[in-house]
């Protein structure tokens, strides 16, 4: 006789099995700080208090950053004057330089499911920019989208999680459906600047122009490197009628000359 398993029972079994695997993983691979490798009492955090506090204490307010010439520029400008007319995403703020520690921490967030990190960076962004003039003009926050296939594989969109916490803290609506990625491109990681722009060209589309028209948008991503992805997203949003697009990321490359 075959016993039928109800959907609710099947879900409970999957939950128990997942819990067993997580407990087994903690036993075989005890949790440790991703920065100093010191053992942690539990797996609820990615880094020890000392490392996390040191990492975040080094994040200071900064001027807008241009990923094309890798330099700061005055806050009164809408974009980098040096790179006007080039493929620049426009006005961009980044929380931190990609130091070795920041790279490790963001790697844990992006690839190893340490989603609690998104809230930590959102709180830091709120601390830095709560009174910034540009924030007061924003109508909607939009995260850089993942292709559905990549979203399913990873289980979450790191930019969307960051944007969700920003939306809550700044009390600004978030729209994670207006901007879509219609093509599943290869990873940008090992591409040079020219290849990155070519790889990402034309891959975004707007699902509803009315949700974008005349809106001042804060475009959010986790890391900016060459600015290719933010440029393509900004261009798509502006063509759909957005009145302004300002970008905010967590990490950025080192400013040239520093």
Summarised one tens digit per residue, pLDDT across range 82-128 is 987 788 888 999 999 999 999 999 999 999 899 999 999 999 999 99
Tokens describing residue 114 = 């340490």
Which candidate, 223, 228, 226, 229, places its Cα nearest to that of 252? Answer: 223
Tell me the domain boundaries of the chain.
21-51, 58-252
Topology adopted by domain 58-252: Rossmann fold (3.40.50)
Task: Name residue 220's beta-bridge partners.
Answer: 143, 248
Pick the more confident residue, 256 or 125.
125
Tell me which of 2-6, 89-93, 138-142, 242-246 is least confident: 2-6
pTM for the predicted model, two decimal places: 0.86
Following CA atoms 204, 208, 210, 211 in sequence, which dihedral angle do they give, to the nearest 10 degrees?
-80
Place of tokens 């009315």: 210
Q: How sure is the predictor about 257, in pLDDT bands with cuts at 50, 70 and 90?
A: low
Strand 179-181 and strand 204-206: the pairing is antiparallel
Q: How sure is the predictor about 6, in pLDDT bands with cuts at 50, 70 and 90?
A: low
Task: Name residue 142's beta-bridge partners.
Answer: 219
Residue 246: is it exposed, middle or buried by C-beta count within 10 angstroms (0-12/13-18/19+)? buried
Q: What's the confidence (pLDDT) of residue 15?
A: 58
Q: What's the confidence (pLDDT) of residue 9?
A: 55
């Amino acid at each position: 006789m075959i016993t039928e398993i109800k959907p609710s029972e099947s879900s409970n079994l999957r939950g128990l099995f997942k819990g067993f695997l997580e407990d087994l993983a903690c036993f075989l691979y005890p949790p440790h700080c991703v920065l100093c490798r010191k053992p942690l009492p539990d797996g609820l955090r990615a880094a020890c208090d000392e490392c996390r506090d040191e990492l975040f204490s080094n994040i200071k307010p900064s001027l807008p950053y241009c990923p094309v010439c890798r330099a700061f520029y005055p806050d009164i400008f809408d974009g980098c004057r040096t790179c006007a007319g080039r493929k620049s995403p426009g006005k961009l703020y980044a929380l931190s330089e990609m130091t070795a520690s920041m790279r490790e921490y963001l790697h844990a967030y992006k690839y190893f499911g340490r989603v609690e990190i998104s809230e930590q960076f959102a709180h830091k962004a709120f601390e830095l920019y709560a009174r910034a003039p540009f924030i007061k003009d924003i109508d909607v926050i939009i995260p850089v989208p993942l292709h559905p296939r990549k979203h399913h594989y990873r289980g979450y969109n790191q930019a969307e999680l960051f944007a969700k916490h920003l939306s809550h803290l700044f009390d600004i609506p978030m729209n994670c459906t207006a901007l879509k990625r219609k093509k599943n491109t290869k990873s940008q990681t090992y591409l040079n600047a020219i290849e990155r722009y070519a790889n990402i060209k034309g891959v975004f589309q707007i699902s509803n122009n009315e949700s974008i028209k005349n809106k001042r948008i804060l475009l959010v991503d986790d890391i900016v490197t060459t600015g290719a992805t933010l440029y393509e997203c900004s261009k798509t949003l502006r063509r759909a009628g957005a009145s302004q697009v300002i970008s905010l990321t967590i990490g950025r490359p080192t400013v040239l000359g520093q």
